[in-house]
Amino acid sequence: MFADLHLHTQFSDGTYSPGELVDQASRHELVAIALTDHDTVEGCAPTAQACDAAGIEFISGTELTAEQDGHEIHILGYCIDTGDPKLLAEISKFQLVRQNRVREMVARLNRLNVPLEAEAVFALANCRSPGRPHVARALVSARLCANLDEAFERFLKKNRPAWVPKFKMSAADAIELIHGAGGVAVMAHPGLNRSDEVIPSMAAAGLDGLECFHTKHSSSTAERYLQLADRFHLLVTGGSDCHGTSKGQPVIGTVKLPYQHVEKLKARAVSNRAQAQLPSAKKPAKTGVLHQADPQP
Ligand code: AMP
Ligand code: FE
Ligand code: FE
Ligand code: ZN
């Protein structure tokens, strides 16, 4: 029994609709999936419905962008209440930042004599959480770049001429936001960020887990994060980070997380919620992480 806990749809920068994503999950015989679109939870309800029909367990989720000690960190929130007012208010601010950032990237492209229009990007993205992949796709579809790699290499990668930095909350704020929505906070693809030194402080800030298994983690990288997860008493998760067909072959099915980790994740959501309901004076100090097996006060 295997799960994939890192997937994107058209509600952010993936190419699959919820139905197409769930069809793919069925094809790969996954028993559980989580949807982790960037800065949105809009895709959760339709994906949950498609999962119900397909007999697949659905875990709600999102992927937030944060910053810790100068490193960009992606934080996955799982088992979140997708109607949580604070979460919804915050992510709608992040979406506005993304929309303004698209306009700024397009303005920079225009100053470079690349005649792209912001409306073309928004029409193509057709979602509230547009990002650089949509700008790249719009450049390709307007024949201003030959392919997505060229768009990123020439214009959109960090420090390239149309790159615009994105506002990022602190990792501690992201973790708090996810916990406030009843969820479990997991550091996404740590091997991509080359920022292992932030793991201790994130664990102290209440991080629940590490995404040890990811398409871009080699087996030795996965092993390193399994050891770090063990050392810091963090849960183990994994997923393909499939964005559909945007980057060639879809990667769903290439990372298969044993289901026992999903059970531990769900148990952590229950214990986080129970802890949040305690009167604040009785809450355990958040100076370390609670081990799954630690007795709950
Ligand atoms: P954003 O959140 O707008 O900064 O965009 C980040 C997204 O761009 C991530 O989902 C990445 O998968 C994607 N991305 C980053 N670098 C590249 C690249 N060189 N080629 C294609 N996609 C990329
Ligand atoms: Fe993405
Ligand atoms: Fe990410
Ligand atoms: Zn992702």
Mean pLDDT per block of 10 residues along the chain (297 residues) reads 98 97 98 98 98 98 94 96 97 96 98 97 97 97 97 97 92 97 98 90 97 97 98 98 90 97 98 79 44 35
123 Cα to the center of ligand 3, angstroms: 23
Structure tokens at 185: 């906070």
The predicted pLDDT at position 279 comes to 59
| CA 141 – ligand 1 centroid, Å | 17
- Ligand 1: residues with CB < 6 A are 13, 38, 131-133, 148-149, 152, 157, 166, 247
Ligand lying nearest the CA atom of residue 187: 3
Tell me what pLDDT residue 195 has.
83
> For residue 29, what pLDDT is reported?
98
> Is this model's pTM higher than 0.95 or not?
no
Ligand 1 atom showing the smallest separation from residue 38 Cα: 2
- Pick from 281, 277, 76: which is nearest to 177 by CA? 76
pLDDT of residue 38: 98
> Does residue 37 contact residue 12 with C-beta atoms inside 8 Å?
yes
Among protein residues, the one with the nearest Cα to ligand 1's atom 14 is 133
Q: Which ligand is nearest to the CA of 158?
A: 1
66: β partners = 73, 169
What's the pLDDT score for residue 194? 78
The DSSP symbol for 38 reads B
Query: Reduced to 3 states, what is the DSSP secondary structure of residue 62?
Result: strand
Which residues are CB-neighbours of 84 under 8 A, at least 6 positions away? 180, 181, 182
For 37, counting Cβ atoms within 10 Å of its Cβ (0-12 exposed, 13-18 middle, 19+ buried), the class is buried
Pairing of strands 61-68, 32-34: unpaired
- Tell me how far the alpha carbon of residue 37 lies from the centroid of ligand 4, in angstroms: 7
CA distance 267 to 272: 9
* Most ligand 1 atoms within 8 A of CB, residue of 152, 154, 215 to mutate: 152
Task: Decide if 84 contacts 274 (C-beta within 8 A).
Answer: no
Strand partners, 239: 214
Which pLDDT score is estimated for 247? 77
Tell how far the Cα of 36 is from the centroid of ligand 3, in angstroms.
Answer: 9
Residues 6+ apart with CB under 8 A from 51: 22, 25, 33, 57, 58
Q: Whose CA is nearest to atom 5 of ligand 1?
A: 132
